[in-house]
């Protein structure tokens, strides 16, 4: 009998302990692109480990990258608006096809480096947060970036004009505008299909992240890397407003405090990965990856930098305004024109 009672006491103590340590709430997160360090080294760690530690075990989360969750990237904002995805990550290049006003911060040719990108995102962020909240019922919680998206080509490339006549993979309308402006043929291709298209000869070049391209293996099928950043893969991490407001107040406060730190870590990682991606694709000693390429890195000349600015002013920005409408031109002129020094043209 004593052994039986002791067993019951141990079972009761175990159940009580589990009840005290069981999480009060488990969040479901759809994160960014899987397989890249922004996800594996930062997003995944924050949601699956750090959140529990920071909350003393009260709150936990599960996370899956959107490109492996069966969630079409173009539909992410719609799914967040409906509450189907309570917390999700949306690439602006993907959702801007349907909502061009949200893509202003990452238009092709706008941000040649990270300091410029920081100023751009800072200037447009209040507009982005308001638009997401008022039009789409989503609460902006973080803005992430990926490594610089540069041009990989399977033939020698010395300057922008060499893209003329080449079929080049793009991921957004503004990238298509940019490639068209130099005489190239833009080809919309999903990230996961880049290698297939390069190997089949369907594309001659591809615009993608420097490290992302290396992870895919582009250094094995291309020979030239033109190191002018066309875009940065800016993404928003947001929550369905009803879902966010339903969270315990202390959890809301915790997320608002900690997510800016996660955002800063992702930005720093992407900046490092931009440089390491170039190093690994070209086989430089600074590459820390086991596999190194033998590509030739071509730095943009001052003439091509001037051409970039001209293309943005005469093709990319006007093209975006025409697709987006007068409200977008107004928003640009109020937020980004003072930073960029360029006003949006009137809608024709």
Read off the pLDDT of each residue in 304-324 and give the average, rounded to a whole number: 97
Read off the pLDDT of each residue in 289-299 and give the average, rounded to a whole number: 96
- What CATH class is the domain 20-146+233-274? alpha beta
Classify domain 149-232+282-340 by CATH number.
3.40.190.170
Per-residue confidence at 98, pLDDT binned at 50, 70, 90?
Answer: confident
Domain ranges of the chain: 20-146+233-274, 149-232+282-340
The predicted-structure confidence for 125-162, as pLDDT tens digits, reads as follows 999 999 999 999 999 999 999 999 999 999 999 999 99
pLDDT for 46 beyond 80: yes
pLDDT for 38 beyond 90: yes
Read off the pLDDT of each residue in 114-124 and give the average, rounded to a whole number: 97
Which token pair is 32? 């960014």
Same fold, 20-146+233-274 and 149-232+282-340: yes
Q: How many CB atoms lie within 10 A of CB 186?
A: 20
201 Ramachandran zone, left/alpha/beta (phi>0; psi -120 to 50): left
pLDDT for 183 beyond 90: yes
Q: pLDDT value at position 23?
A: 67
pLDDT for 10 beyond 50: no
What percent of the chain shows pLDDT beyond 70?
93
Q: To which residue do tokens 């309308």 refer?
A: 173
pTM over 0.85: yes
CA dist 220 → 152, 153, 215, 217, 334 (Å) = 11, 11, 11, 6, 45
The predicted-structure confidence for 188-233, as pLDDT tens digits, reads as follows 988 889 999 999 999 999 999 999 899 999 999 999 999 999 999 9
Strand-pair category, 235-240 with 205-209: unpaired
pLDDT for 4 beyond 50: no
Q: pLDDT value at position 22?
A: 54
pLDDT for 11 beyond 70: no
């Amino acid at each position: 009998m004593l052994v039986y009672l002791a067993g019951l006491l141990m079972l009761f103590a175990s159940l009580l302990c589990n009840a005290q340590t069981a999480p009060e709430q488990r969040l479901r997160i759809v994160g960014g692109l899987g397989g890249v360090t922004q996800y594996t080294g930062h997003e995944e760690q924050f949601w699956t480990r750090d959140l529990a530690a920071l909350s003393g075990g009260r709150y936990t989360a599960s996370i899956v990258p959107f490109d492996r969750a069966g969630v079409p990237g173009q539909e992410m904002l719609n799914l967040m608006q409906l509450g189907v995805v309570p917390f999700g990550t949306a690439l602006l290049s993907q959702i801007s096809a349907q909502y061009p006003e949200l893509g202003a911060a990452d238009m092709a040719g706008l941000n040649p480096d990270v300091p410029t990108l920081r100023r751009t995102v800072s200037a447009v962020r209040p507009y982005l947060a308001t638009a997401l909240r008022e039009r789409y019922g989503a609460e902006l919680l973080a803005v992430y970036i990926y490594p610089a998206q540069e041009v990989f080509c399977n033939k020698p490339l010395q300057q922008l004009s060499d893209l003329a006549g080449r079929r080049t993979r793009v991921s957004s309308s503004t990238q298509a505008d940019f490639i068209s402006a130099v005489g190239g043929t833009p080809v919309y291709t999903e990230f996961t299909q880049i290698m297939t298209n390069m190997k089949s000869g369907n594309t001659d070049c591809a615009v993608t992240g420097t490290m992302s391209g290396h992870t895919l293996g582009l250094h094995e099928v291309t020979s030239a890397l033109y190191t002018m950043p066309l875009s940065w893969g800016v993404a928003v991490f947001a929550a369905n407003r009803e879902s966010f407001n339903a969270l315990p107040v202390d959890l809301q406060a915790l997320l608002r405090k900690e997510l800016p730190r996660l955002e800063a870590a992702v930005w720093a990682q992407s900046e490092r990965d931009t440089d390491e991606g170039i190093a690994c694709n070209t086989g430089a000693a600074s590459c820390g990856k086991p596999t190194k390429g033998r590509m030739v890195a071509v730095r943009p000349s001052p003439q091509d930098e001037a051409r970039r600015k001209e293309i943005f002013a005469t093709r990319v920005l006007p093209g975006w305004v025409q697709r987006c409408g007068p409200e977008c031109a107004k928003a640009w002129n109020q937020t980004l024109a003072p930073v960029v020094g360029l006003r949006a043209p009137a809608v024709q």
